[in-house]
Amino acid sequence: MKIIMLGAPGAGKGTQAKKIAEKYGVPHISTGDIFRANIKAGTELGMKAKGYMDQGLLVPDEVTIGMLLDRIHQDDCEKGYVLDGFPRTIPQAESLTKALAEMGEAIDFAIDVDVPDENIISRMSGRRACLKCGATYHTQFAPPAKEGVCDVCGSELVLRDDDKPETVKNRLKVYHEQTQPLIDYYKEKGVLHTVDGTQTMEAVFQSITEILGA
């Protein structure tokens, strides 16, 4: 069961990817985790990636895909995996399809967690974080006991720059330009399934398990 999670930033695909991994006993693989693991282990690809990252440059696709292929051929991926955050662009998707085809493999499911932009902006601009202890809240869905104050350590809660409406709008613009074409790409491959991401987290997961079969 090889699964790709698609969806805009803030659609909740990372949360669903973790739940899928837990239920089906397959690893949840995010590009961020792969980068960190390779850099920590000092692999050749990890050092290449670090060189680009240290200069504030994007890591080239061939380096990212090299690390990804290493990861999905480890023993714990025997039953499959959930990819979260990759591919992000059509060239990455094409490279992944080609690399898997050479090994007689293919993606089984591309799950698009669909949430309208206005919902995402409202969701993310409601997030609040404690910079001291790392606790997170939401003004609407998970508010602190006292407004603006962390329940855990009593520090002030802040709206992170990443979650400000103007930043979210920019991230969504990039998503629509670069990543949304993947929806058409996987639709053509016959593996795309769309779920309504505006439902509760449990209902979204229920929809996904129905697609995956149990």
What's phi and psi for 10, nearest 5 deg? 90, 0
% helix, strand, coil for the chain, step of 5 = 50, 15, 35
Q: How far apart are CA 32 and CA 50, in angstroms?
A: 12
User: DSSP alpha helices (H): ranges in 42-164?
Assistant: 44-54, 61-72, 90-101, 117-125
* Distance in angstroms (rounded) separating the CA atoms of residues 200 and 65: 33
CA distances from 33 to 10, 28, 71, 153, 174 (A): 18, 10, 10, 28, 22
Catalytic residue numbers read 13, 88, 127, 160, 171
Name which of 62, 37, 10 is nearest 174 in CA terms. 10
Q: What angle do CA 77, 79, 85 make, to 5 degrees?
A: 50
Strand order in the sheet with 136-138: 136-138, 127-130, 157-158
CA distance 1 to 82: 8
